[in-house]
Structure 1
Amino acid sequence: MENIETSKSWEKARNICIVKTLAKLGHFPSRKTEKEAWFLSPLRSETQASFSVSLHKNLWYDFGIGKGGSIIDLIMEMKSCTVKEALEYLINDMTKLSFRPPKTEDRLRRTEIRILDVEAIYLQGLIDYLKSRNIPLEVGNNYCKQIWYHCKGKRYFAIGVQNHLEGWELRNKYFKNSSSPKTFSLFENDSKQLLITEGMFDFLSLATIDEGLVQSSDCIILNSLAFIKRIETLIPKYERVLLYLDNDPAGKKATASLLNQFDNTIDCSDFYSGYVDLNEKLINEGSWKKGENLKRKISG
């Protein structure tokens, strides 16, 4: 009888909404797409969201540790507890936190980002934002655009980098967003050398430190570690692949995986040792011109 009751409780608990439960525990999405909500992982420390929750299946996956599952699995991981203890924790919230897949029309109306205009960066707010990240406006305009977009009934502007499927990664001082389809960005310069960075500002930092290196190489911005698998087929065609991924557990794991798979890959994260990423080091170097010492190291 106890096993039957436990089984019933387990089935009911699986219908508790992961997103609502995470909100109750103080974790909120960094961004949402039509299908997924992306969080900074509640299971480990990270600076870029790689913890995904399916808004249709009510399942989670942490790309940094390669684990996923139901809300029960998540509570077991977060609380280091047994199935029974996880069910006891969840039982009181079964009704108010129940999972209901969003209706298609409502979901699209709430989350769709519609690009309105693409132009050179001139708004002072975006120029100041670049400056706060120690990126010169000239570098920003070489690789980015000023994007006006519509979302949730309002009009916004952001710095944008286009991905190779013509979606946009969007950043301003207050928001981090993206339009569909989401994937990696690729800059091709007919080179035998490939540079791989994790995010937009890592790439812009590299262009600030050594624009010659960037302009003489093909470059990939992953835009999320979730897209590592998508770029693996491109790596063998290059003579040398320089990796500038984050100095956090997820970034180190991704770097180690690529180093193990491909003999032409080189880990360049030592150049910003002691910092999470290239942009953090560039900011802490002070003026972007003070990055000349980095320039010699990377070019050498």
Structure 2
Amino acid sequence: MNIMQIKQIAIVDFLLAIGFRPTKETAASAWYHAPYREDEDPSFKVNKNRNIWYDFATAKSGDIIDLAVLVYRTQNISKVLKMIAQATPAVPLQVRTFVPHLQTPASDGIRAQISAFKNLRVQALASMPLLTYLSKRGIDMGIARQECKEAHYTCHGMNYFAIAFPNEAGGYEIRNPYYKGCIAPKAVSLISQGQTDCICLFEGFMDYLSFLTLRKLERLSVPCYDADLLVLNSVNNLPKVLPRLRAYKRIYCYLDNDDAGRRVVDMLRELKGDAVHDMMEACPLYKDLNDILVGKKRMP
């Protein structure tokens, strides 16, 4: 098929063919978990009348080819066209069937992403592109090698590799310069220091690595050096760990300076009151710990 024929394929049919179903659908639009990144709250919308998509979380948009470039992680358009053609029958837009108000559990999009990972191989972090990426983010290389692994896997028939951060359930948070996701099972990561009554809380593992680097460089005031360290790997994991957090006398939150981070702090303060300390409150010009590490300030 040529480009014009490819563009006649409905994006919703392409997404269905690669394992993604809408969480909500009307006659004019469909909402999804973004198919090329971790997206726990559906923020990816397809306009079925115009056959275009928009990712509200990243402000990216485009047609089916633009989407496939992100899904298959290649700028080789010839390869992209071939993979779309192999995945999707060329169904004309006007004859596509429609099932009104289709509802699926919110986790289906994540399951589809997870099921796409094949042939997983985890090894020591040594790949120069991955180390270079972490170095550009200011992360200490010794800390990176100690805390992270390197995952090699296939996804939709193509080979990839990424930084892998283990969680306590045996899964991995994975990231490279082009992708952020999870290899199941999804869970928090707890780094226990033994007997302690305080804990430091982080949203993602890049925040955790930034914290360790800032602490090593003595650029961060750390109120408790022997605290347990808990990486949520998603703020949606907070309810799972609330029973454990009740046991701590002091909770130091190094969460993002955004609405999601503040909601977590507010929720914890309802649970533990003055025992909860928002450590990012003193750094309002920085979105997160990594921005502090690399000196990236937001506009006041």
Distance (Å, rounded) in 1 between the aligned partners of 2:207 and 2:166: 15
Q: Name the counterpart of 2:269.
A: 259
Quote how far apart the aligned CAs of 1:28 are: 6.5
Residue 272, structure 1, aligned to residue 283, structure 2: yes
| In 2: Cα distance, 1:25 partner to 1:112 partner | 21
Structure 1 position 246 matched with structure 2 position 256: yes
**Preserved contact between residue 145 and residue 160 of structure 1 (Cα < 8 Å):** yes
- 8 A Cα contact 1:194 1:217, kept in partner: yes
Of 275, 284, 287, the match for 2:295: 284
**Equivalent residue, structure 1, for 2:213:** 208
Equivalent residue number for residue 231 of structure 2: 221
On the 8 A contact 1:185/1:222 being kept in 2, the answer is yes
- Answer whether contact 2:124 2:149 (CA < 8 A) is retained: yes
Q: So what's the TM-score if we normalise by structure 2? A: 0.62
Cα-to-partner distance string for 1:186-219 (whole Å, 9 max, x where unaligned): 1111132211001111111100111495862211
List structure 1 runs of 4+ shifted beyond 3 angstroms. Answer: 16-21, 23-28, 30-33, 36-42, 92-102, 107-112, 211-215
Q: 2:239 is matched by which residue type in structure 1?
A: K
Q: Deviations over 1:135-164 (max 9, x none)?
A: 121111121111112222222111111111
Q: Are the equivalent residues in 1 in contact too, given 2:199–2:227 (CA < 8 A)?
A: yes
> Structure 1 residues 142, 110: CA separation in 2 closer, same or farther (over 3 Å shift)?
closer
Note if contact 2:123-2:151 (Cα within 8 Å) is conserved in structure 1.
Answer: yes
| Aligned-partner residue type, residue 251 of structure 1 | G
Tell me by how many angstroms 1:230 deviates.
0.7
User: What pairs up with 1:17-166 in 2 under 5 angstroms?
Assistant: 17-18=22-23, 29=34, 38-40=41-43, 95-96=97-98, 99=102, 111-114=115-118, 116-166=120-170
Question: Does residue 1:184 correspond to 2:188, yes or no?
Answer: yes
| Counterpart Cα distance in 2 of 1:251 and 1:109 | 25
Match of 1:195 among 197, 200, 217: 200
% identical aligned pairs? 27
Q: Is the 8 A contact 1:31 1:39 kept in 2?
A: no
Instruction: Give the count of matched residue pairs.
Output: 220
CA RMSD of aligned residues (A): 3.8
